[in-house]
Structure 1
């Protein structure tokens, strides 16, 4: 399976080329010979895939109410991503910008969001369990995912279902662990590339019992990555490991996982200046050779399914996790050092009832307790800019702890109104309590405000309503109305700036409507939808570095995902989005003017990703040519500085030499294009994370 992602922008050549390519692709597929119909049936993955994210149970994508995309295990293994963005950006509506090493910023039906908004607007899951506590999210959360040995990845765009609360606002990503094989299996993969890039991954499993007796399955997986970095004084080392145990008996099923991730990074900062990412003298330099990021994460979860009756099942998932991170905030004046940590535990519980007539009900209660801490200390002398009183002085900026409690009952229901019409309704209530304790002197310290200890509480109600109708065997349509909400991140509430008022941050709310269809047309499998969303209480940092707590934004677009076989062993797949993300309020400061109707910064209207695949030698070999397009976008909220966008081309090849040996390679950025992974505007300057040069990666996989 392959996917193509596009967000089209009428301004500029890149936007028009993406629109033309989308039209030409549809025309070419429609004209494909009718003789391919049978092969199209075999590759109709859009309808046949089984998804688990929305209900926690196996649901055919054909009957899923609302959008959902799945990147199957085989595709993740074929892509062999250096970082998760390499495979996730195949999904429509998703645009993850890679920073230095494992650092990144995410967009899912949204602009690329930063700070607390970037951390709190997206939910990252492992087998349906959040990888971090709700108010303690990480803007670089994908560094804690283990996608190298994966059972697939599922993505929901827009507010998640009633089963998910805080952070499932703009979307969620669920990383599925690979289950044990029915008997046993094992594989070891090693590959290398430029700049001392080297990775080794391995996995092995064994299952005992089965047939009429209970079965016990075991799988162990690991990955080790070393990347010397293509820029000066940069590099990344990561180690990841996971153990999984599955127990399957006639009336009880258990899935237990233990995952550990360690990251050590020498960080490269922004290169600064007009089009600095194109400048041969600048784009490989590192203005911040002293920057670093060290982090580790440990988490475990046990999912227990118990059949109480033929149509009644109890699901309990206790979990625990611990995270710690230490990094230099090289992107801020004074370059303070932040240390943050939290440990947390909780229980996801639900009672699943299947009723006569095809109806179903899920009654759930989620509980979570977290104990977290954060300190920010500047060891450098105060820089000359900005000047007092907005300066960044030497010393302790913040030092606090937060204890958090979350209680969230919910109901998810599905009603078979007719044999071809399914109605869904859900409601979630989420109560969040933060008990904050300040360990630094109260009051203003330069630009920073350290507030006295306090308690904050938030209550959010998020309803969801959806309708799906099968018009015929080739087309199914759906409508979804949903509200997403998130309590403020603890950093939104307690890492304040002078002139701010404690307690002014409110829960963000996002109301969404989408209308979509999926099915087959000629030999094409497709899914497409239109969406519109309004967000209130948007909390972000303006150009002066101060937090804005009452922002409003609107989001509207169209998304497309399709796949089809072509003659001579070829196939093509695509996904796309045309979207506008705009401010719905006015905010004027001395250095930035945000006007109602402006594009939100870092919100390309066009993203595109098209792949042409070729299976050869009886299916033992596969080649894939990929086009990755990012349209132009404004780098600042005032819409005065613009990045031109880029087009990158990649080639991948995988060949099974024998049943036990596979060789593979990929050539990235074939034409050695100068581009920016991220373009930003701050403190009056353009600044960029340059994209990497052309690179060749070669490797091999041993299987038994």
Structure 2
């Protein structure tokens, strides 16, 4: 196959010893939806490469993202998670809408119909790389990108036929199987990847079965490239809820119990996209990506007294387009995005009346949505070493809500009459980047991120709430950063950020909507890799950040009153991930990983605290032959009793317990 497919279309660079793209040589595709040298990108972006993904062999996507500064995923039950990127760990509509989850550059779910567990459907198990943009990225991506973007990228077809297979099992009765086949014939390249996981579950009645499939075909005749990707995901899990009380967390038998044996989550999703790239001249390229997606999910709301059954889903059709023109000192990008979505939500309680939770149909509605966006970005070389960039994006979101049952109040549930809503937002961005020399660069930027309300924030209401409360969230962000290589020994990336967010929408401890919340986010992030020896490297991702409320909110529950300047709950100030990696031979790798989670408040009033934790993981891989390798993992080597997530609500300390010491063994075959 022509080199344009493997080098020009998406250029993957050599890796450093740590497996993380270096400031000097790394290539990323998420910043501008095209291959771009990391050294030229004036924002905080990290890439976890394929070799490191294989070494991690993640049981959960949180294990991958723990290596990125400024990022924390709180692992829930099974495949579930809650996310933080330069933010507290966010829940509900804020947790769903504040982060943009992509697969191969296309959102996994439609804006307004997002899912707080949105990454469980991404095929990270066989990914070529995972890229993370920290901070607002609205100028290119628009809605849902106000705190950051996570992009999971599928491997490209190989020039020669290749086969990869892996099997793994551990002491928690977790078994994983995955494999890929890839090759090319003339102008056509193809890739097939699949993965299966089945596990009994660390806790009672908390097993999981999940299957994923990815198909990719690339056609490249030199001037036109057509890259088509299909993916499918099926998740069936038994779900464990919170355990209650610190004594339970620290009891080796009780922490494995599950008070919600009836809970489950079933979800299916399919996505199809095709990127058509045309070189229209020496300096101009047109890129067009039509796509379609479908998903459905059902689960009982075990976290509420009603245990109501929720069913939701949506299908979408859309297209991304962009024109790239590079002419001397000037580089221009302009494009439009359009999407139509048809979604639904149903909630039904079969149990008798419990407090104000009434039996019967709580909600049953459809929402259709149209998203229209346009953006333009211009970069200009002020000097051979200094580049200024300005960008702006305008998003229009239009919802049409159709209530399929009687409107009004039933118990605690408020059902609105049919209505339409529209939101128009603008996201500007300005950056200045200066290359001090070939190995050192500094940058400064201002950007604004915006997002429309989630449909559930608008239409899934309860008493004492109204449908016009939620407004588009806005965040203004200032950032400075530096990247440097000191000889061949040190690779360094530093950034500092200041962000103010308003119209933060959430529910307070009394169950009322807060539509005008304000928060501030101030922090420092560092990622450093030191080559201690040609066979030994040390890498650390460190974050210090303060996430605080910038308003007062008195609640009926005095213990949950919010005071200006208090820390936002579930917002640790210190997070660190440090790895020592030894590669004594080309076929042997050993890694020790230290995860450190600082303490954080578990309630809005800052009265209850989780003390944080430290966890040590070990990984090793040995190539038995040029094609066959064995690998082993010891997770939580010190057998620490810790919480993946801590929370305080309804007068109780609540936890999702982390797994105890776990031994795993696997075998890999590559041809």
TM above 0.5, yes or no, is yes
Query: Per the alignment, in what secondary structure is the counterpart of residue 500 of structure 1?
Result: coil
Deviations 1:311-341 (A, max 9, x none): 1111100000000000011111211111001
Q: Which residue of the partner structure matches residue 601 of structure 1?
A: 569
Higher relative contact order (CA 8 A, sep 6+): 1
Aligned equivalents of 1:45 and 1:117: distance in 2? 33
| 1:69 to 2:37 alignment | no
Q: Counterparts of 1:536-685 in structure 2 under 5 Å?
A: 536-567=502-533, 569-591=535-557, 592-617=560-585, 619-685=586-652
Indicate which of 501, 524, 528 corresponds to 2:466.
501
C-alpha contact (below 8 Å) 2:378/2:389 kept by paired residues:
yes
Q: Which residue of the partner structure matches residue 690 of structure 1?
A: 657
Deviations 1:538-559 (A, max 9, x none): 0112112332111110000000
Aligned equivalents of 1:492 and 1:441: distance in 2? 19
Q: Which residue of the partner structure matches residue 9 of structure 2?
A: none
C-alpha contact (below 8 Å) 1:497/1:547 kept by paired residues:
no
Query: Per the alignment, in what secondary structure is the counterpart of residue 106 of structure 1?
Result: strand
Give TM-score scaled by structure 1 length: 0.91
Q: Which residue of the partner structure matches residue 344 of structure 2?
A: 373
Q: Which residue of the partner structure matches residue 212 of structure 1?
A: none
Q: Counterparts of 1:323-402 in structure 2 under 5 Å?
A: 323-357=295-329, 359-383=330-354, 387=355, 391-402=356-367
C-alpha contact (below 8 Å) 1:240/1:262 kept by paired residues:
yes
Indicate which of 57, 70, 93 corresponds to 1:116.
93
Q: Which residue of the partner structure matches residue 107 of structure 1?
A: 84
Indicate which of 391, 396, 402 corresponds to 1:426.
391
Deviations 1:594-639 (A, max 9, x none): 111110000000111100000013x210000010010100001011
Q: Which residue of the partner structure matches residue 435 of structure 2?
A: 470
Shift of 1:433: 0.2
Indicate which of 35, 60, 63 corresponds to 1:58.
35
C-alpha contact (below 8 Å) 2:21/2:47 kept by paired residues:
no
Aligned equivalents of 2:546 and 2:616: distance in 1? 25
C-alpha contact (below 8 Å) 1:40/1:525 kept by paired residues:
no
Q: Which residue of the partner structure matches residue 6 of structure 2?
A: none
Q: Which residue of the partner structure matches residue 12 of structure 2?
A: none
Shift of 1:279: 2.4
Shift of 1:532: 0.5
Shift of 1:160: 1.0
Aligned equivalents of 1:43 and 1:571: distance in 2? 12
C-alpha contact (below 8 Å) 1:43/1:565 kept by paired residues:
no
CA RMSD in angstroms, aligned pairs only: 1.4
Query: Per the alignment, in what secondary structure is the counterpart of residue 249 of structure 2?
Result: helix
Aligned equivalents of 2:19 and 2:227: distance in 1? 31
C-alpha contact (below 8 Å) 2:93/2:506 kept by paired residues:
yes
Q: Which residue of the partner structure matches residue 10 of structure 1?
A: none
| 1:299 to 2:276 alignment | no
Deviations 1:235-265 (A, max 9, x none): 1100000000011122111111000000000
Structure 2 alignment gaps of length 5 or more: 1-15
Structure 1 alignment gaps of length 5 or more: 1-38, 210-214
Q: Which residue of the partner structure matches residue 401 of structure 2?
A: 436
C-alpha contact (below 8 Å) 1:40/1:564 kept by paired residues:
no
Aligned equivalents of 1:374 and 1:118: distance in 2? 18
Aligned equivalents of 2:566 and 2:629: distance in 1? 51
Closer, same or farther in 2 for the Cα pair 1:509/1:676, shift >3 Å? Answer: same
Q: Which residue of the partner structure matches residue 118 of structure 2?
A: 141
Moved more, 638-647 or 543-552: 543-552
Give TM-score scaled by structure 2 length: 0.96
C-alpha contact (below 8 Å) 2:172/2:662 kept by paired residues:
no
Closer, same or farther in 2 for the Cα pair 1:42/1:111, shift >3 Å? Answer: closer
Aligned equivalents of 2:283 and 2:531: distance in 1? 40
Aligned equivalents of 2:20 and 2:551: distance in 1? 46
Q: Which residue of the partner structure matches residue 49 of structure 1?
A: 26
Aligned equivalents of 1:275 and 1:94: distance in 2? 29
Shift of 1:194: 2.0
Query: Per the alignment, in what secondary structure is the counterpart of residue 24 of structure 2?
Result: helix
Number of paired residues?
653
Indicate which of 457, 482, 485 corresponds to 2:447.
482
Moved more, 683-692 or 364-373: 683-692
C-alpha contact (below 8 Å) 1:161/1:426 kept by paired residues:
no
C-alpha contact (below 8 Å) 1:43/1:564 kept by paired residues:
no
Shift of 1:412: 1.5
Query: Per the alignment, in what secondary structure is the counterpart of residue 257 of structure 2?
Result: coil
Aligned equivalents of 1:275 and 1:443: distance in 2? 44
| 1:528 to 2:505 alignment | no
Shift of 1:354: 1.2
Shift of 1:41: 13
